[in-house]
Structure 1
């Protein structure tokens, strides 16, 4: 199932991508359908598998009874596909070729840092280039969204705690990031974590450790890799984090970026993002996420 949010009168509404188009769940519920169904995306992330099954039953029924309300995909204002994560946890230097291009040794354990919900935004949103940076970089990343509370989880059971996956652009102001040994400042400016367009349930994704990833800047391919190049795979990441903190439903884990970032180029070929640039990050089975960069 492909879940999403769109913004209507300042409210994040739940939508589902179907073969017929994007179904507006709350509008369909109000269209005379006697179904006890939740209409907030966070309720489904934190709910049981029965909640998702009930949602699918509702979708099938509303379409068959011609009571489904659809919205135009080209006209909606997209929201982040996860709206209220308790934590946003990121893994640094988690691709072999990315570590190689930055002349960094492979980490022995996952390098963790965090971002905040001020960084969240959605597909097709405009992102201001902060005045405080001259080195804004892109990073396509696979996002893991936790669905069940996880603490001291073994690797073999780790993915059982995952609700689904999404495409993320872990935007990074390199001059701020490298100002100190702590990376947080360069990662946490406003709208630095566009996520979406869809949150795809784990059953539809299958193996998250074999997905292609791509980044395009103004139509030019910049990153082209596969999650199989990760140093620590998805199960290892979830298990490792759970040894140190409790993962809650709705938490997002950004699993690192592959080679091809601006910082990895020779200095005379580094062309960082500028107002007017259009960046699309794309992951197999999860969809393409596009944002427009503007002057702050």
Structure 2
């Protein structure tokens, strides 16, 4: 399934994509939001699938009553506000490590940092180039969301804990990032985490370590590779971080960015007016315009 959160009068709707439509699944599942649905576990997903199956049959007969056209919906981030900081990986593609200009070896262990929940913005919402930022950059990433709580999770069991996958854009302020050696300030400005457009369940993704991933700026390809190039794969990420730390339902993980970031690209960094298109095979594409702070 492709699960979505979308704007509606009075708040957010919770839906599933069915053909070219969005089916509201709040009533069918009893969930009030994406986190509520994930908290329900397998039972919630079962109810959602049953509702989708019924909607598919209706659409085949030409009955689209009660459905919202996907093209007319304003999608929000699948999880508009996470319960905890987003966990991100740095230096997780070999070519990206090399383009940094340092002579460092590849990291022997995953490098983690976080972004606060206030960075989250929608898949088509603007990225704000604010007055604290000097050098703005893009980083397309594959993200996954935890669907089953766990601690000391083995690599063999890691995928059992994933609810779904999203496209993630780790917007970065390079000057702030280098001033603050743990990267937090440079990664944590408001609107610095566009994500979505859907939360895609594992059955529709297949092997997440074999997905094409790309980023364009103003239509020009900047990043273009495959998740098979990750240094640390998803089972390693989950196993490493859950070693003594409880992973909870709704936790969001971004797996790192490939080479081609603006700081090392001939076409350079982002500027106001630029349009960033970030995509991962089977997961859709984000489209975010850079605007100045009002």
Q: TM-score when scaled to structure 1?
A: 0.92
Q: Which residue of 1 aligns with 2:33?
A: 40
1:62 deviation in Å?
4.3
**CA apart distance, 1:83:** 2.6
Structure 1: gaps spanning 5 or more residues: 30-34
Is contact 2:25-2:48 (8 Å) kept?
A: no
Counterpart Cα distance in 1 of 2:36 and 2:184:
29
What's the CA shift for 1:20?
A: 4.1
What is the aligned residue count?
286
TM-score by length of 2: 0.92
CA contact (8 A) 1:42 1:84 kept: no
Partner of 1:225: 225
Q: Is the 8 A contact 1:78 1:125 kept in 2?
A: no
1:151 aligns with 2:168: no
Deviation track 1:173-230 (CA, whole Å, cap 9, x = no partner) reads 0110011311000000001001100100012111111111000100000000111111
Q: Pick closer, same or farther for the CA change 1:270–1:175 going to 2, 3 Å.
A: farther
SS in 2 for 1:195: strand
Deviates more, 1:73-82 or 1:154-163: 73-82
Measured in 2, the distance between the counterparts of 1:23 and 1:201 equals 16
The alignment's C-alpha RMSD in Å is 1.6
Tell me if structure 2 keeps the 8 A contact 1:42–1:83. Answer: no
Unaligned runs of 5+ in 2: none
Q: Which residue of 2 aligns with 1:91?
A: 89
Query: For residue 59 of structure 1, what is the aligned residue in structure 2?
Result: 52
- Aligned partner of 1:32 in structure 2 is none
> Which residue does 2:170 correspond to in 1?
170
The 3-state SS of whatever aligns with 1:45 is helix
Query: In 2, are the aligned partners of 1:5 and 1:15 still within 8 Å (CA)?
Result: yes
1:73 maps to which of 70, 75, 78: 70
Query: Which stretch shifts more, 189-198 or 11-20?
Result: 11-20
